[in-house]
Amino acid sequence: MSRTANITRKTRETDIRLTVNLDGEGRAEVVTGVGFFDHMLTHLAKHSGWDLTVEAKGDLEVDSHHTVEDIGICLGSALKNALGDKAGIERFADAAVPMDETLVQAAVDISGRSHLEYAASYPSPKIGEFDVELVEEFLRAMVNNAGVTLHVAVIRGGNSHHVAEAIFKATARALGRATRRDPARGQVPSTKGTL
């Protein structure tokens, strides 16, 4: 069974087309108009093992907030759709990712319950023109629409670019493992029988 999803979302603020394949090879084709965010989404695809295509046009003359948040909404919706009934997935996973002086830990539960715990601080409020607060906005939009619990903790970090990149890489690694199929499991990984 194919674990793919296509999402289209058009509002007065954004126009987004997003495709995800959870059984991909980590390929990304991302054009959002926000250079640093393109870089982060490419890391998300590469380190999760998902194939990800994102084409977005947003009101960047205002700022990047609507574009980044709405892509999070689309990715969360796509993830939920692609997982289907979640039968046979690992469900839980965590990853710790170092990047030079920075260390980030992420833990995921594909639970059907949306929750984000986000403990991160940045040495600067911007990475180029990118507002670092948008990392949390993206993750919150994604988990709220995917029905996923995600904990992110920056253990240490001295460079804002490294902090954001390690967050995306750790989240990607955890999500990739949690959504992976376990051949030994054919059922939904819950005593309730549903997630």
Element (H, E) at 31: strand 28-31
In the block, tokens 């509002």 appear at 11
Instruction: Convert the pLDDT of each residue in 77-120 to its tens digit.
Output: 999 999 999 999 999 999 999 999 999 999 999 999 999 999 99
Q: In whole angstroms, what is the distance from residue 2 CA to residue 83 CA?
A: 9
Using the CB atoms, write b or e for 31-57: b if 16+ within 10 Å.
ebebebbbbbbbbbbbbbbbbbbbebe
Question: What is the CB-side half-sphere exposure of residue 108 using CA atoms within 13 A?
Answer: 28
pLDDT at site 191: 56
Region 159-175 average pLDDT: 98
CA nearest neighbour of 92 among 150, 166, 26: 150
Consecutive H or E run containing 7:
strand 4-10
Written out in words, the top-level CATH class of the domain with range 4-179 is: alpha beta
Q: How far apart are CA 79 and CA 83, in angstroms?
A: 6
Mean pLDDT of 139-145: 98
User: pLDDT band at 182, cuts 50/70/90?
Assistant: confident
39: tokens are 């870089």
Cα 181 to Cα 178: distance, rounded to the nearest angstrom:
8
Bridge partners (DSSP) of residue 149 are 109, 115
Output the CA angle 5-9-13, nearest 5 degrees.
Answer: 150
Q: Is the pLDDT of residue 188 over 90?
A: no
Which of the two residues, 105 and 193, has the higher pLDDT score?
105
Query: What would the pLDDT profile of 12-68 be if each residue is shown by its tens digit?
Result: 999 999 999 999 999 999 999 999 999 999 999 999 999 999 999 999 999 999 999
Domain ranges of the chain: 4-179
